Amino acid sequence: MNTQVGISPQFYLTAPARCPYLPGHMERKVFTHLIGPKAPEINDLLTQGGFRRSQNIAYRPACERCQACISVRILVNEFEPTKSMRRVLATNDDVIATELEAEPSSEQFTLFRRYLDHRHQQGGMSEMTVLDYAMMVEDTHVNTRVIEYRERVEGSGIGKQGQLLGVALTDVMTDGTSMVYSFYDPELEKRSFGTYMILDHIRTAKQRGLPHVYLGYWVRGSKKMTYKVRFQPQEHLLPAGWTRFDPSLYEEDV
């Protein structure tokens, strides 16, 4: 297989596999390789076209009888946190976010394993080793950053702060940021840390003048994905293009 990506990348189709979100469904994906000097430009275009990145692969669903997976992006400049989101921000006022190069650490992996063992014991990532984690972080040809979230330690100065609470693997693009994968301490229920990390990405995107935060796929009918439509306003990628989402039209799904 030729994996050299030029201006026009080659696309491939996976074999059918069990859908991880909707019981009784099968999924297929179309994918291409993101390598070489054009990878950042291609990643931008494909993300805007509904693709997601995993290592050096860009993919999107290509299921024959199902269109439940819908790409979501938050409209950063119009976003205003709800009352409950403001409480989340206040609760996590003691958290410091540090943006780093896409390099893994043993501390990150320890937290990653705790997160998987608590939240995704039966998922496709449940058997990932330290080498698998390193590849997930390092195998990128685009502008990828690791954001570490730590407890603030008073008087510690610049540099590492306290306990590592969460990590986000994020691509920085020309029109926004894309949250590739994030994980956090599973004992932080009272902090609503997953919500907090999304709110922090909205804040940093706005500071950079970037109009979007891409959240990946909202899967209609999957309860584990309902959190994504809480961040309004947002757009969904439909056959007619990016369309402003109206939650009232999908009350049974949100």
In the chain, domain spans = 12-67, 73-250
172's tokens: 């920085």
d(CA 226, CA 219): 8
Helix ranges (H only) for the chain are: 39-48, 83-91, 106-119, 130-138, 193-207
Contact indicator for 217, 52 with CB cutoff of 8 Å: yes
Q: Quick one: fold of 73-250?
A: Aminopeptidase (3.40.630)
Residue pLDDT tens, the chain, 254 long:
444 444 578 999 999 999 988 999 999 999 999 999 999 999 999 999 999 999 999 999 999 889 999 999 999 999 999 999 999 999 999 999 999 999 999 999 999 999 998 876 555 677 889 999 999 999 999 999 999 999 988 765 555 578 999 999 999 999 999 999 999 999 998 999 999 999 999 999 999 999 999 999 999 888 888 999 999 999 999 999 999 998 776 655 55
Assessment of whether the complete model's pTM goes beyond 0.75:
yes
CA 8 and chain centroid, separation: 25
d(CA 27, CA 188): 33
